[in-house]
Structures are given as C-alpha cells and as structure tokens.
Structure 1
Amino acid sequence: MSIKTIVFIALGLLLLYLLFTVGAPFLLALVVAIFLEPLNKLFMNKFRMNRLVAATVSSSLFTVILIGLIALLGVKIAAELIAFFKKVPNYFENANGMVDDLMNRVQSLYQNFPPDAIETLEGWLQGLTSALTKMVGSLSNTVIAFASSIPGMFIFFIVFLVAVYMFSFSLNTMKATVLSMFDEKSRPQVDDVLNNLKKSIFGFLRSQFILSALTYIISLLGLLVLDVKYPLAIALLIIIVDILPILGTGSVLVPWGTYLLLTGDVFTGVGLYILFLVITVFRRIVEPKILGDSVGIGSLSALISLYVGFKLVGVIGVFIGPLVVIIYMAARKAGLFQTKIKL
C-alpha cells in the first residue's frame, strides 16, 4: 500500500470523526435531504415546480411533521424529565444516608467475631460501599450530563433544520461537484461507491432506529409493569445510555435497582434487574442481525466494528466503526481495493 493511499485513508477517517462530532447536525441534515429528494422530484415533475420551490415545500412539510411529533410526545416527556430531575438530589441524599446506616448496623453485628473474620468483613464492606458510591455517582453524572445538554440540543436542532433547507436547495449540484474532483476515468467507480454508500447508510440508520424503537418499547412496558413514575422520561434516558455497547443500560438500571433493594422495595428492584438483563440480551442478540441485514455486512463484522469503534474513539465509534466497514464494502463492490496477497 502506497504512502498516498495511507494518507488518503487517514484523512478519510479523520473526516468521518469530524462529521460525527462537530459536523453531526450537518451530516444528519444531509441524510434527511437525501431522504426528501424523491419528494422534491415528485413536486418538480408532477406540479412543474422549480428546484427552490419544491425543496422549500418538502423541507417545510418535514419541519411541520417533526415539530408536531415533538409537541405531541416531547411535551409529556419534558414534563416528566423536569419532575424527575427535581427529585434526583433527594434520591442521592437518601441513598448515602441509607448506606451509612446499613454499614453501622452491620458493624454492630460482628463485634464479637474473631479478629481475622472482622478484618475480612470490613474489607468486604468497604468494597461494597465503594461499589455503591460509584454506581450512585454514575447515575448522578448521567442525569446531570443529560440535563446540561438540553441547551446544546436546542441549538443543534435549529442548525439541523436550517441545514436541511440548504442541502435540499443544492443537493442536485453536490454530487456533480464531488465527481468533478476525480479523474474522468475514475468517475464511474466513484459514482458506484456513492450509490452503494447511499443504500448502506440508509440501511444502517434504519437499523439503529428500529433497535432504539424496540428498546424503548421494552423499557416502557417494563417500567409500566413495575408501576414506576415518569416511565416515558426514564425510558428515553435508557435509550440514550443504551447507545453504549455492552451493558450500557446498566448505568441507569443497576444503581437504581440496587438502591431500591437496599431501601426495601424488593419487587421493583428485582424487576429493574430483570429489565436490564432482558434489554442487554435483546440488544446483543438482535443488534448484529438487524445491522448486518440492513447494511449488507455480516453479523460478526457488524459486532466487531461496533466494539472496536467504541474502544478506539468512544461512543462516536459505535457509528464510525460500522460506517468504515460499509465504505470498504462499497469500494470493493465498485472495483476498488481488489489487491490480493501474493506469497
């Protein structure tokens, strides 16, 4: 592999990372604009609209529908989130007090034990206290981070909507601009890569939406069965945390279930543990299959790309990992990267 190819791949990976971080609203807007393109063509062909009018109408329809859904569902979820966040500090204070009281009571029970047994028990209790403190702190950080991100999410939403209009206006010329950057002989291959990427990326996004929707339904049903307050808001929080591969929902359900068990609510505590196991098993079994079928890569490749991406660059890698595999497969289908090992 030449140095030029290595540099090109490195720059491509850097671009992907930037797209999924600082460029996320624009990337999402581009995907929506591509999704709206058939509607633009319908307006232009059937109603004889020019590009500007057709893109304005389709983007406005999308905006109205999106804001309508947010108004119908978002208001209820926001109200539950606000009420939940107000009570979170009380939960943490009660948890700390309860743990201290429990430790004092346990210590009074083993004062007459042999010294070696007392030392072993104290070490075990200290480890348990440290573990409980970390779990409570993890839940606290998750809640605080989500609450502090709300203003940024609003700015993200505004930039995203504006970008949808702008991409819709100029989408017809963007592909020609990209192709013009390549040699004329290479343009058919690049065009094939872009078409394969379009199909695979939409499949990837569709699979993520399906997984999140199914996880939300399972979480909501479980919380309703357990008769938990604020089920809509908490299920949404579980979905956000569940983006993390391997036991992501544990950051919410495990500390919460432990707290309820220690405070005497055994039914709800055990129920939360069971819900955590159900969601985890469901994601581990279904995610590689849905992702592989949607984007055209194998289940094992999908799982490896998810995990390696997460380990290398964190949460963003959950999306970048499969996308790198998608791009590679699209390039191979177009006749690129056909080099074989010679011994």
Structure 2
Amino acid sequence: MSMKTIVTIVVGIGLLYGLFTVGMPFLLALLIAMFLEPVVAWMMRSLRLGRIASATIVCTVFALLLFGLVYLCGAGLIGQLIDIAKKAPAFLEDFNRYFKDATERTELFYSTLPVDVAAQMQAALEQGVTTLTNSLSSIIAGITGYFLNAAKAVPTLFIAFVVFMVALYLTTFSLPLLKTGFLGLFEDRSRDKVASVLGNLRSSLLGFLKAQIILSALTYLVSLLGLFILRVEYPFAVALLIIIVDVLPILGTGSVIVPWAAFVFFKGEVSLAVGLLALFIVITIFRRIVEPKILGDSIGIGALPTLVGLYIGFKLMGVVGLFLGPILMILYKEMRKAGLLQFKIKLE
C-alpha cells in the first residue's frame, strides 16, 4: 500500500470524524437526501417536473411527516413526563418515610440482640447504606447533569435543526452535482471503483440507519411490554427514557431501572423491585445479543466485525465511535472489494 493511499485513508477518517461531530447536521442531511433520491427521481420521470420542484415537494412532505410524527408521539409522552415531574416530590416523601420506617424497625431489632452482635450488624449496615447512598447520589447527579446539559443545549439543537433542514433542501437540489464533483477528484481509472464503493456505501449506510431505528424500536417494545406486565404507571414515558439512556454508555439502562428498583424495595414492594431488576437484565442481554446481528445483516458485514467496530470505536472515540466504528468497517470492506485497497502480508 503506497504512502498516497495511507494519507488518503487518514484524511478520510478525519473527515468522517468531523462529519460525526461538528458536521452532524450536514451528514444527516446527506443521508436523508440519499434516502429520498429514488422518490425525487421517480417524480422527475413520472410527473415531468424539474429537479428543484421535485426535491422541494419531497423534502416538504418529509418535513411535514417528521413534524407530525414528533407531535403525535411527543404529545402524550410530554404529558406523562410533566405528570411524573409534578409527583416527584411525593415520591421523595414516600421514600423518606419508608426509609425512616425501615430504620426504626432495624433499631428495634437491634435491641433484641446481644451488644457485640448488634454492633457488628450495625457497622455492616451503616457501611452498606453509605455505599448505596453514594451510588444513588452519583447516579442521580449524573442523570441530573445530563438533563441540565440537555436543557442548556436546546438553543444549539434548534440551530442545528434549522441548519439540517436548510442543508437537506440544498443537498437534495444538487445531489447529482455533488456526486459528480466528488468523483472528479479521482483519476479516470479509479473513478469507476470509487463510484462502486459509493453505491455500496450508500446501501450500507442506509442499512445502518435502519438498524439503529430497529434496535431502538425493539428496545422500546421490550421495555414497554415489561412495564405493562409489571403494571407500572407512565409506561410510555418510562420506556422512552429507557431507550434514550440505553444509547448512552456513560449512563446505561441501569441508571433508570436500578434506582427505581431500590426505591420500590424500600417501600416494601419487593416483587416489583425484583421485576424491575429482571427487566434490566433482559434488556441488557437482549441488546447485546441482537445489536451485532441486526447491524451485521443491515450493513453487510458479519456480527463479529460489527462487534469489533463497535468496541474499538467506543474505546477510541466514545459515543461517536459507536457509529463511526462500524462505518469504517464498511468502508474498508467496500474498498477492498473494489480493489482500492490491495495489500497482503509477506513474511519472506
């Protein structure tokens, strides 16, 4: 492999990283434009419309569907979240009352024990309570900090959304020109190979996006089913919160379910606490088993390479690496398949 190829790969990885960070609105616009391109081409061919008119209609319909979906899904969920926020002080009062009651019962139990045994049990209990309190405090602080940061990021997210919508229209208007200009960067003998890689990469990226949607939907359904079985309140809002934190490795599903299980346990609802912990285990195992398989089938690489890409990407680049790692695996596979990367290890 020549130095030129190595430099090209390094620059490409840097560009991909930039797209997945500061350039995310433009990357999303490009992906959606690629997804909408067959519809635009069909309108141009069937309705005899120009590209700008066809792209405007398609993008507008997409935007209306997006807004409608957000409104329909968000209205009920926001109502439940507001109701939960209103009842949060009552939940905390119940927790304090049950915790105080448990403490009084423990003290009564100590009074019936020998002094040395009671002292040992009290020391062990105090250590356990301290550990639990510290763990809950760190978890609550992490969740609170996350939502505070999310609230602070609302103006930035709004600007990013506006940029995304404008970029979507502009990208859809000029997608063929963008493709032609990009292919013009390469030599004639390499152009067909690059075009083949782009075509396959497009299918794989759309498959990757589809896989992420499927994973989130399946996780939501599993969570919702478990919450309905446990007969908890606000199942739709809680299931949404679970899938949101499930894609955040720093928090994870346990950041919602484990403190909740501890709370209901202190209330005396042992069966619900056990059920919540069982749901947490089921969601975690389900996600770890299904994720490599769905990603592998959707993007055309095996489950093991997908898992390797997810792990290495997360270790090197954090949350961004969870998306960038598998995409780099796809890019490597397609470039090898097209003959752009041809090297073999020689031991002699």
TM-score normalised to the size of structure 1?
0.89
Structure 2 residue 138 is matched with structure 1 residue 134: yes
Structure 2 CA distance for aligned equivalents of residues 6 and 241 of structure 1: 37
Q: Is the Cα–Cα contact under 8 Å of residues 245 and 307 in structure 1 kept in the other structure? A: no
Q: Which residue does the alignment assign to 1:113? A: 116
* 5+ residue gaps, structure 1: none
Amino acid at match of 1:55: A
CA gap of 1:96–1:66, structure 2 versus 1, over 3 A, is same
Instruction: Find out whether 1:214 has 2:214 as its counterpart.
Output: no
Look up the match of 1:294. Answer: 298
2:186 — aligned with what?
A: 182
- With over 3 angstroms needed to count, the CA separation of the structure-2 counterparts of 1:245 and 1:166, relative to structure 1, is same
Q: Deviations over 1:246-276 (max 9, x none)?
A: 9821121111111121222323322221211
Whether the 8 Å CA contact 1:246–1:280 is kept in 2: the answer is no
On the 8 A contact 2:94/2:267 being kept in 1, the answer is no
What does 1:135-150 align with in structure 2 at a 5 Å threshold?
135-150=139-154
The 5 Å alignment of 1:42-61 reads 42-61=42-61
Quickly say closer, same or farther: Cα 1:147–1:256, change in 2 above 3 A: farther
Residues 99 and 306 of structure 1: CA distance in aligned 2, closer, same or farther (over 3 Å): farther
Give matches, 1:25-104, under 5 Å: 25-88=25-88, 91=91, 95=95
Change (3 A) 1:236 1:79: same
Q: Deviations over 1:138-174 (max 9, x none)?
A: 3433444444444444333332222211111011101
User: d(CA) in 2 for partners of 1:262 and 1:158?
Assistant: 46
Are residues 122 and 282 of structure 1, via their aligned partners in 2, closer, same or farther at CA, if it must alter by over 3 Å?
same
Match for 2:276 among 268, 272, 278? Answer: 272
CA contact (8 A) 1:306 1:319 kept: yes
Aligned mates of 1:173, 1:20 — CA distance in 2: 23
Distance 1:116 1:66, change over 3 A: closer
Q: Is the 8 A contact 1:44 1:54 kept in 2?
A: yes
Give the 3 Å change call, closer, same or farther, for CA 129–93 of structure 1 in structure 2.
same
Distance 1:262 1:25 in 2: 45
Alpha-carbon distance, 1:316 to partner: 1.2
Share of identical aligned residues, percent? 50
CA contact (8 A) 1:99 1:129 kept: no
**Could you give the per-residue CA deviations for residues 1-23 of structure 1, whole angstroms, max 9, x where no partner exists?**
55544443333222222211221
Paired residues of 2:216 and 2:243 also in contact (CA < 8 A): yes
Aligned to 1:202: 206
Q: 1:299-333 deviations in whole A, cap 9, x for unaligned? A: 11111211221122111111011111111111111
Counterparts of 1:305 and 1:104 in 2: how far apart (Å)?
52
The answer to which of 223-232 and 168-177 deviates more is 223-232
How large is the Cα RMSD of the aligned pairs? 2.6
Give the length in aligned residue pairs: 343
Q: What TM-score comes out, normalization by structure 2 length?
A: 0.88
* SS in structure 2 at match of 1:185: helix
Q: Secondary structure at the match of 1:186?
A: helix
Contiguous gaps of at least 5 residues in structure 2: none
Which of 228, 251, 261 is residue 257 of structure 1 equivalent to?
261
